[in-house]
Chains A and B, each alone.
Chain A
Amino acid sequence: MAEMARELGKSVLKGENITKVFGYGKTRTEAVKKVNFDFHEGEVISIVGESGSGKTTIARMILGLITITEGTLLFNGQPRDISSGKKRKEYWKNIQAVFQDPFSSFNMFNKIDDLLLDCINMTGGKHKSDKEKFDMMTEACSFVNLKYAELTNKYPFELSGGQMQRLMIARIFLLKPKILIADEPTSMVDACSRATILDMLMKLRDEIGMTIIFITHDIGLAYYVSDSVYIMEHGAFVEAGPAEDVIIHPKADYTKRLISDVPKIYGEWDLSTVG
């Protein structure tokens, strides 16, 4: 996967002192504290941290689903502007997300055909003939090893979790976004399906050159897929850099502890480090 350090393209998303505060007074939570990042074209990034560290909050700010309390987000070198509905729609053509629970992000009452058709229409394919649309949907399904013929006229809840997760990737195949945020895409599947999903996402990255931001607490996954890794603790990045440096030669105590707690197969997994 990472035989050689790939050359980084130009910056697509740059965060400067990004902060998110929820609530105020007694309920005030500073979920993200002055974080800085720079994600490049075609780069695979992992944001790693324990539960509640603020990973999803960063994702939601980048997606424009929640406001940024403080700081600047640059998209392609320009301050991101989603102040009008039109600009927002334009931005969302560039950025997409897949989530841990694929069922949560689909409208249960839309058939799978419509779901895939929407993707084609959203990316300027409205004028295409039915035959062309059919071919595109068939291609997208076969990319993720699903058979389109077996999905027509079905609803999302008729599929298994693994099939749904692959359907999410078929959607991304049609949408071809510049940036994909994958928030714990494999935390509900077994190790085998994890390998399948990662394989498909990386193939897609190679094919359309998109930037992928993995949000995960799976440190093995972060090491395997990423060019760069950001380690997050209590809302702040404690360490960031090339995957090899951060995971194999961690500097921060927090990163060291996190990595030492993951079960190993070559080195020793030292149980005496926990109380």
Chain B
Amino acid sequence: MGKVMLEVNDLKTKYVTRFKEDVYAVDGVSLKIEEGKSLGVAGESGCGKSTLALSLIGYYFAPLHYMSGEIIIDGQNISGMKPDEVRKKVLGTEVAYIPQAAMNALNPTQKIIRFIEDVIQVHDKSLSKKDIYDMAVERFRILGLPPEVLQKHAVELSGGMKQRTVIAISTILSPKVLIADEPSSALDVTSQKMVIKMMRELMEKGFIKSMIFITHELPLLYNVTDDIMVMYAGQIVEHGTAKEMVFDPVHPYSKGLMGSIIVPEEGTRDVQLEAIPGTPPNLKHPPDGCRFAPRCKYAKPECKVYDVPEKEFEGHRMYRCIYDVDYLKEAYGRNG
């Protein structure tokens, strides 16, 4: 087993709305990522993927609140830290974070090199601008980005170039974990491919040591990450290798998600798409028992009463459903 870069144990966080209502957006998440590995997070809109990302980097600014659980990055437990301390000691060096729609958040009047100076100087005031510039040129060159970009403003860059630049800036300090939230979803297919290629290079060159990749696009995850975890209503409902999750999902929700995959590959248009009826629950009042039960075609009355614990199977896989694996697979076999 490789060295564990990120370990999360039973993490619970919530939003507190203006009306003092609690929204349990991350509710008991556990995961582990080893050095050199990547983990994908999938799930419908509103399932808590972005909230999980914010929670993992310790970004506990109102309305987001930490409740309980541990976040351990390369042996260092950051769960008790104050957000300001996290910003100084963790962000950039331990973990880098690419928020959803990050590229549109770059201040358009600032040169790219200034962003890099900002990131570095939070951690190391001793480096001169010249040192930083040399470091940035070297990193951009290795990643196949033209160093001229450093002297440009964000508005002068195309969407794909902007996004690759954002990723290069965020990882300049070679963090242990990169957390990327829909980093390529707004891009056309060719730019998306370039972004993915660059992320793979970051990993191969050791500029990042592990990665969490969030997207609802399953064919993309399948090609990018070693493992995939499916999130529903703030909880992990299944976790396995990318291949197992796409071709042999066990949880009825994962099974449903895989039924919505469309790819331009021969024969796939003859298979009827299966949309999951209904929408994810409001996390202010999550349903009792299994949260997916109200939308699950296999649900029985008990499902709506008892909480389902995470169950391990096949050594490394995990799912959260009242039924046995064999029963579910047989049911899917029957339904085709």
Q: Give A residues with C-beta under 8 Å from B.
A: 1-3, 50-51, 145, 160, 162, 189-196, 198-199, 217-224, 243-244, 247-248, 257-259, 261-267, 269, 271, 273-275
Central interface residue in A2, A145, A247, A263, by most chain B CB within 10 Å: A263
Interface members, chain B 229-280 (any A CB < 8 Å): 246, 256-257, 259-266, 268-270, 272-279
Central interface residue in A51, A145, A190, A196, by most chain B CB within 10 Å: A190
Among A190, A223, A275, contact of B268 (Cβ-Cβ < 8 Å)? A223
Which residues does chain B contribute within 8 Å of A50, judged by CB atoms?
Answer: 188-190
Q: Give B residues with C-beta under 8 Å from A.
A: 44-45, 144, 159, 188-190, 192-194, 196-197, 200, 216-220, 222-223, 246, 256-257, 259-266, 268-270, 272-279
Known contacts A223-B269, A264-B219, A271-B193; A191/B188 CB under 8 A: no
Contact A191 B190 (CB under 8 A): no
Contact B188 A51 (CB under 8 A): yes
Contact A274 B190 (CB under 8 A): yes
Shortest distance between the CB of A252 and any CB in chain B (Å):
15
Known contacts A2-B269, A191-B216, A191-B257; A223/B222 CB under 8 A: no
Which residues does chain A contribute within 8 Å of B197, judged by CB atoms?
Answer: 271, 274
Sample 13 A-B pairs with CB under 8 A, ordered by A number.
A145-B278, A191-B216, A192-B275, A195-B259, A220-B263, A223-B269, A259-B264, A262-B263, A262-B264, A263-B263, A264-B219, A264-B264, A265-B265
| Assembly CA distance A267 to B144 (angstroms) | 27
Contact A247 B264 (CB under 8 A): yes
Central interface residue in B159, B264, B275, by most chain A CB within 10 Å: B264
Contact A190 B44 (CB under 8 A): yes
Shortest distance between the CB of A165 and any CB in chain B (Å):
12
| Assembly CA distance A244 to B45 (angstroms) | 31
Contact B189 A217 (CB under 8 A): yes
| Assembly CA distance A117 to B49 (angstroms) | 38
Contact A261 B193 (CB under 8 A): yes
Known contacts A50-B188, A265-B219; A195/B264 CB under 8 A: no
B192's closest neighbor in chain A, by CB? Answer: A261
| Assembly CA distance A243 to B256 (angstroms) | 26
Contact B268 A196 (CB under 8 A): no
Contact A261 B277 (CB under 8 A): no
Shortest distance between the CB of A160 and any CB in chain B (Å):
8
Contact B188 A1 (CB under 8 A): no
Shortest distance between the CB of B187 and any CB in chain A (Å):
9
Among B200, B222, B278, contact of A265 (Cβ-Cβ < 8 Å)? B222
Contact B220 A263 (CB under 8 A): yes
Which 5 pairs, one residue from A and one from B, show the smallest C-beta to C-beta distance? A220-B262, A195-B275, A261-B189, A195-B260, A190-B216
